[in-house]
Amino acid sequence: MNAQQASANRTNHADLLQKLGQRSIVFVGLMGAGKTAIGRKVASALGLPFIDSDHEIEGVSRMSIPELFAAYGEPEFRALEQRVIARILETGPKILSTGGGAYMNEETRAAIAAHGVSVWLKADLDLLMERVSKKQNRPLLRDPDPRGVLSRLIDERYPVYAQADITVATRDETKEVISSEVIEAITHHLKSSGKVD
Ligand SMILES: Nc1ncnc2c1ncn2[C@@H]1O[C@H](COP(=O)(O)OP(=O)(O)OP(=O)(O)O)[C@@H](O)[C@H]1O
Ligand SMILES: O=C(O)C1=C[C@@H](O)[C@@H](O)[C@H](O)C1
Ligand SMILES: [Mg+2]
């Protein structure tokens, strides 16, 4: 997206952006739900900067997520994730796609509630399995039974993701369709909540 396109997109969504104020739009949900893919598209459509917390963590640590898990373990990764997300949220508005486990952290949830509008991309097990099978970069799924792991994560995490401001049920639809639904849902949420930063 060049600067001219970004400016045109901002004009098209002026009302949403005015109501959003300095808050960011934050995507949460399980691995494979489409947080990165849809977040990037929504950022482009709204003319806002896009940040993915997993990519940011890899940038600051100069290690891949699997390397970080292997070298320091999951608790260290989670601590770094919390710090990185808090820093990203200090300034807005932007689009932030979080890693699948980020929203499970209570302090991260509080930071997101204070500085953002959260969007849970909810997907069923079959769709998640199909999406995560394409890439082997998720340490939690390096397991003989990745479907079982995802199923357990659904039970554990869905009640927490449900605390997000907005839920969008993703299904086997194109990224463009899901992105439009997300923008519509955010517009509706901002109109009815009326809160401006
Ligand atoms: N609506 C869609 N239609 C087709 N493919 C999609 C759609 N949404 C996501 N994908 C694809 O599914 C895969 C997983 O999506 P993505 O990486 O965005 O998930 P994620 O929620 O960011 O996962 P993680 O928590 O592991 O980062 C990617 O290959 C992405 O291009
Ligand atoms: O769901 C999770 O806990 C994770 C999801 C990915 O985005 C990465 O943040 C990492 O692989 C952990
Ligand atoms: Mg992602």
ipTM at complex level: 0.97
> How does pLDDT run across 27-83, given as a tens digit for each residue?
999 999 999 999 999 999 999 999 999 999 999 999 999 999 999 999 999 999 999
Q: Is the CB of 172 under 6 A from ligand 1?
A: no
Q: Identify the domain containing residue 114 by its residue range.
A: 19-185
**Coil, helix or strand for 80?**
helix
Report if residue 193 sits inside a domain.
Answer: no
Q: Which residue has the tokens 């930071």?
A: 111
How far is Cα 106 from Cα 155, in angstroms, rounded to an integer? 18
- What is the tally of structural domains in the chain? 1
Whether 5 maps to a domain, the answer reads: no
Residue type, 79: A
* Dist. CA 64 → ligand 1 center (Å): 18
CA of 13 to the centre of ligand 2 (A): 31
**Cβ atoms within 10 A of the Cβ of 171, count?**
10
Instruction: Indicate whether 10 belongs to any domain.
Output: no
User: What is the Cα Rg of the chain in Å?
Assistant: 16
CA torsion through residues 149, 150, 155, 159, sign: positive
Strand partners, 166: 119
